[in-house]
Amino acid sequence: MGYGAFADSLIDIGYLYGYGTFFMNSATYKSLLGSDRMQEFPHDINKQVRDYYEYVSKRVEDNNDIVDAIALRYYNEYHPFCLIINGGAEPLSQEASRRFFADDDTQSHYSSLGFYHQTVALHDRTGVHMNQVEQYQEIRDALEQMLLNYAEELLGEPLTLDSGEAADA
């Protein structure tokens, strides 16, 4: 692919990664801890809840920091076009975008091995992160099911939740 076609593809792609980090809401957990109500859960549920909010939460924060740092560095040092198209009130025109990529220094930068290597690194890290998020969601879903089963056992009848209610827990 020639540089012009490559530049056009970067213009069409636009912003590669929108800081899609996974954040956990732990307000209910902290409330349960603060009131000692965690002790009312059976041991296995208590342990799973604690593991999720203490162990998984720490991994989520660490992974978010790693991904955010890589993405920030990538945009600041290797793919400044993303900052240009995201920074203005008005969208950058195709003509202005092409002028940016036509500059000799810009062409040299975007044709370099460094740009390629950092793009591969960002792609790899975001892929790893998305796999980790899927694992976190599987752990959360299993915990949610465990809590729903326990609630149904206590109530002696099935629970019906609107979609999204349990996901906020």
- Residue-wise pLDDT for 1-25, tens only, equals 898 999 999 888 877 666 566 677 7
Per-residue pLDDT band at 89 (split at 50, 70, 90): low
Q: Who contacts 91 (Cβ-Cβ below 8 Å, separation ≥6)?
A: 85
Mean of the pLDDT values across residues 121-148? 89
Nearest CA to 80 out of 99, 94, 101 is that of 101
DSSP 10-34: HHHH-------------HHHHHHHH
- pTM, two decimals, is 0.70
pLDDT for the residue 71:
86
